Amino acid sequence: MEEKLHELKEQVKKNLSQLTKRNGSYIFQLRKAMKVANYSEIEEIKILKNLLPKLLDAQKKGQTARQLFGTVANCMSTFKSKSVVAKNDKALFMWLDSTLLMLGLLSTMTTIMNFFAKNREVKGNGVITLLVMAAIGGFVFLVMYHLFYKYEKPGADLSTKPRWWVSMLILLGSMLVWMLLMSLTTILPSNLNPILSKEVMLPLAVLSLAGWRIFHKKFNVESSFVSVKKQ
């Protein structure tokens, strides 16, 4: 089996060396996409063994890999050897996912501040302020995903990527709205925006993080908090 795999790898390596720069770049992105989708080395080599001869034949006729196979994402969707469950990137699910995580993190930070406070009470934020910070913060991270992070995915359609200055203006505008709304909640009367005690903040932090974890796994939600890991 190892000998056969070695032969396949050598054959693939030989075919790769004959690709043009553009087609070689396409195959490089395709291999990155396969790694992200957890394809094994054997699966990857077998797929390349079938694809590369077709690409080399098309290359002789002046055809590119993109013209032959479509985008990297389209090419990936034709593979039958691996069942890949696509991430749920619906805006509502991603926003709820980020909001729950933000709520958990903010509650945890407030709880820790109260725990280490000496001879004084760290009041923290009112309940309305906390919820607005989490909800609008979740929206800001969703904006960041659609402006930046999703274009770092292997096979992403870069033709739809906004200009960097447009992205920065939208992001800055979103953050200003976030800070404005958060500031407005702080002037609410205490009966409308009560400050939660340490005894309430700790369970809230635990429940928020646990709820986020369950929601994230159950609905297989795409994360809007971090960029795609480079392979």
Model confidence pLDDT, tens digit, residues 123-139? 667 899 999 999 999 99
Is the Cβ–Cβ distance between 84 and 210 less than 8 Å? no
User: How far is the first Cα of the chain from the last one, in angstroms, to the nearest whole number?
Assistant: 27
CA distances in angstroms from 66 to 30, 70, 75, 79, 152, listed in the order given? 11, 5, 9, 16, 18
pLDDT in tens, 48-80: 988 999 999 999 989 999 999 888 888 888 875
Written as one string, the DSSP assignment of 41-95 is HHHHHHHHHHHHHHHHHHHHTT--HHHHH-SHHHHHHT--SS--PPPB--HHHHH
Return d(Cα 33, Cα 64) in angstroms, integer.
Answer: 19
- Rounded (10°) angle between helices 91-116 and 198-218: 150
The predicted pLDDT at position 155 comes to: 62
The H or E element spanning position 199 is helix 198-218
Q: What is the mean pLDDT of residues 152-164?
A: 78
Q: Where are the domains of the chain?
A: 2-77, 91-218
Return d(Cα 111, Cα 204) in angstroms, integer.
Answer: 10
Provide the pLDDT confidence category of residue 211 given band limits of 50, 70 and 90: very high
Return d(Cα 50, Cα 181) in angstroms, integer.
Answer: 56
Q: Which amino acid is at 203?
A: P
Provide the pLDDT confidence category of residue 118 given band limits of 50, 70 and 90: low
Return d(Cα 200, Cα 114) in angstroms, integer.
Answer: 12
Q: What is the mean pLDDT of residues 106-128?
A: 76
Provide the pLDDT confidence category of residue 30 given band limits of 50, 70 and 90: very high
| Mean residue pLDDT across the chain | 85
The distance from CA 25 to its chain's CA centroid, rounded to whole angstroms, is 23
Provide the pLDDT confidence category of residue 228 given band limits of 50, 70 and 90: very low
∠185-186-190 over CA atoms, to 5°?
100
What does pTM read for this prediction?
Answer: 0.62
> Residue 155: left (phi > 0), alpha (psi -120 to 50), or beta?
left
* For residue 86, pLDDT beyond 80: no
Return d(Cα 203, Cα 110) in angstroms, integer.
Answer: 12
Return d(Cα 136, Cα 13) in angstroms, integer.
Answer: 49
The distance from CA 160 to its chain's CA centroid, rounded to whole angstroms, is 17
Return d(Cα 208, Cα 186) in angstroms, integer.
Answer: 22
* For residue 6, pLDDT beyond 90: no
